[in-house]
């Protein structure tokens, strides 16, 4: 049986992925390899919608790819590539931009949020058309499924609308993608401010766990995580956000259910829980970091993996683009 195609991307906009990226998204990328045919890309075209230093961007793109491989993205089962290596993304994006209404694009709430942070006049046109490029990413691979969190629903809806609009106007060309609601995704919160999600841009210094930082530093952050003045280790995100966040992390990293953990910690204190979470985290990141390092120490091998991924991607993307160009009258 042929497997359903899945497409997902991540921006190379930090030196390291953080624990939220892993437990909320990247872990599912690895799992989807068992059931789907994945196309995974490091979306450097998306990254330049806000200003990037070229040297830093290039380095982060490689580090992102190395981290994905170290987390278990398997080039034998997934096409892993860098978006700018496949020119069809930008080419299809232009066609789709010409099918997108200005008003329609103006309703994208993520643009409004991001643009208002930098002043709408200074925001780039690329940031404005970002969701259209995202549609091109998906439609090029005829992806059936796109793993989405709440924050990406509106963009996926635009991708679906553009696929349908193109198909109606020019004849069937694109698969209309469905959201793939992933089970077992965990939303991870800032360790110091458990009301806010862990985020590379918004987290407090000690509330963010970067997968590539010194594991001792991560352990210390966990041991000094904000909890509450109570004593009971129970899962209650509303009243015990800090403790619940630690239970979520522990459960996600070990596969033990939260209920199991609550039972196991009956009568124990917050200090015991923090110590144990710190320990499982260190056990996870230590071998991860040495795998990342081995990819970074062998740039030729990393280049080879990414070149092969781009080749696999282009084999599909070039066919889709040719069909779309032909339909449009090019």
Q: Which residues are annotated as a binding site for ATP?
A: 11-13, 20-21, 149-151, 188, 197-201
Residue 275 known to be catalytic: no
Classify each residue of 157-188 as buried b or exposed e, where b means 16 or more C-beta atoms within 10 Å of its C-beta: ebbbbbbeebeeebeebbbbbebbebeeebeb
Minimum gap (Å) between residue 71 Cβ and ligand ADP = 12
Catalytic residue among 187, 197, 216, 240: 197
Q: CA-CA distance, 40 to 98, in Å (whole number)?
A: 26
Q: What is the DSSP string of 118-186?
A: H-TTTS-HHHHHHHHHHHHHHHHTT-SEEE--GGGHHHHHHHHHHHHHHHHHH-S-S---EEE--TT--
Indicate whether 6 belongs to the interface with ligand ADP (CB under 6 A).
no
Catalytic residue among 112, 200, 275, 319: 200
First-to-last alpha carbon distance for the chain, in angstroms, is 35
Which residue in 5, 11, 38, 68 binds ligand ADP (CB under 6 A)? 11
Tokens of 299: 């740039």
Minimum gap (Å) between residue 198 Cβ and ligand ADP = 4
Q: CA-CA distance, 245 to 132, in Å (whole number)?
A: 34
Of residues 69 and 324, the one with the C-beta less far from ligand ADP: 69
Indicate whether 244 belongs to the interface with ligand ADP (CB under 6 A).
no
Of residues 24 and 215, the one with the C-beta less far from ligand ADP: 24
Residue 197 known to be catalytic: yes
Minimum gap (Å) between residue 327 Cβ and ligand ADP = 32
Indicate whether 131 belongs to the interface with ligand ADP (CB under 6 A).
no
Q: Smallest Cα–Cα separation from 187: which of 23, 319, 13, 307?
A: 23
Residues near ligand ADP (CB under 6 A), total: 15
Quick note: the x/- pattern for ligand ADP over 184-223, rule CB under 6 A, is ---xx--------xxxxx----------------------
Please state the residue numbers annotated as binding site: 11-13, 20-21, 137, 149-151, 188, 197-201
Radius of gyration over every alpha carbon of the chain, rounded to an integer in angstroms: 21
- Beta strands (DSSP E) in 167-294 are 178-180
Minimum gap (Å) between residue 137 Cβ and ligand ADP = 14
Q: Is 236 helix (H, G, I), strand (E, B) or coil?
A: coil
Of residues 110 and 318, the one with the C-beta less far from ligand ADP: 110
Beginning with the edge strand found earlier in the chain, give each strand of the sheet holding 5-10 in spatial order.
79-82, 37-42, 5-10, 145-147, 178-180
Of residues 88 and 210, the one with the C-beta less far from ligand ADP: 210
Indicate whether 149 belongs to the interface with ligand ADP (CB under 6 A).
yes
Minimum gap (Å) between residue 33 Cβ and ligand ADP = 17
Q: Are 178 and 38 in contact (CB under 8 A)?
A: no
Q: Smallest Cα–Cα separation from 29: which of 65, 72, 79?
A: 72
Q: Are 93 and 129 in contact (CB under 8 A)?
A: yes
Minimum gap (Å) between residue 161 Cβ and ligand ADP = 21
The residue at minimum Cβ distance from ligand ADP is 24
Residue 216 known to be catalytic: no
Indicate whether 24 belongs to the interface with ligand ADP (CB under 6 A).
yes
Q: Which residues are catalytic?
A: 114, 197, 200
Q: Which residues bind to ligand ADP, rule: CB under 6 A?
A: 10-11, 20-21, 24-25, 149, 151, 187-188, 197-201
């Amino acid at each position: 049986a042929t497997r359903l195609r899945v497409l997902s991307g991540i921006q190379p906009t930090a030196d390291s992925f953080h624990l939220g990226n892993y437990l909320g998204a990247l872990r599912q990328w690895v799992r989807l390899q068992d059931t789907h045919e994945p196309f995974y890309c490091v979306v450097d075209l998306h990254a330049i919608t806000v200003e990037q230093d070229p040297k830093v961007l290039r380095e982060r793109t490689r580090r992102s790819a190395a981290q994905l491989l170290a987390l278990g993205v398997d080039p034998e089962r997934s096409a892993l590539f860098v978006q700018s290596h496949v020119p069809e993304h930008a080419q299809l994006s232009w066609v789709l931009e010409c099918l997108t209404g200005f008003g329609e694009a103006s309703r994208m709430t993520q643009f409004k949020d991001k643009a208002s942070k930098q002043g709408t006049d200074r925001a780039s046109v690329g940031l404005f058309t970002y969701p259209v490029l995202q549609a091109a990413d998906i439609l090029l691979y005829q992806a059936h499924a796109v793993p989405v969190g709440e924050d990406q629903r509106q963009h996926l809806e635009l991708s679906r609308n553009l696929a349908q609009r193109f198909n109606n106007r020019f004849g069937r060309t694109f698969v209309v993608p469905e959201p793939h609601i992933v089970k077992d995704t965990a939303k991870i919160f800032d360790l110091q401010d458990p009301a806010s999600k862990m985020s590379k841009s918004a987290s407090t210094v000690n509330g963010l766990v970067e997968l590539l930082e010194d594991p001792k530093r991560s352990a210390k952050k966990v041991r000094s995580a904000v909890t509450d003045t109570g004593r009971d280790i129970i899962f209650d995100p509303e009243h015990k956000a800090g403790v619940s966040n630690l239970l979520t992390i522990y459960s996600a990293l070990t596969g033990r259910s939260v209920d199991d953990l609550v039972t196991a910690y009956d009568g124990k204190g917050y200090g015991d829980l923090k110590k144990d979470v710190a320990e499982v985290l260190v056990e996870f990141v230590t071998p991860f970091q040495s795998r990342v390092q081995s990819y970074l120490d062998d740039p030729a091998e990393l280049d080879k993996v990414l070149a092969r991924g781009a080749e696999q991607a282009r084999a599909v993307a070039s066919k889709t683009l040719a069909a779309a160009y032909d339909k449009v009258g090019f």
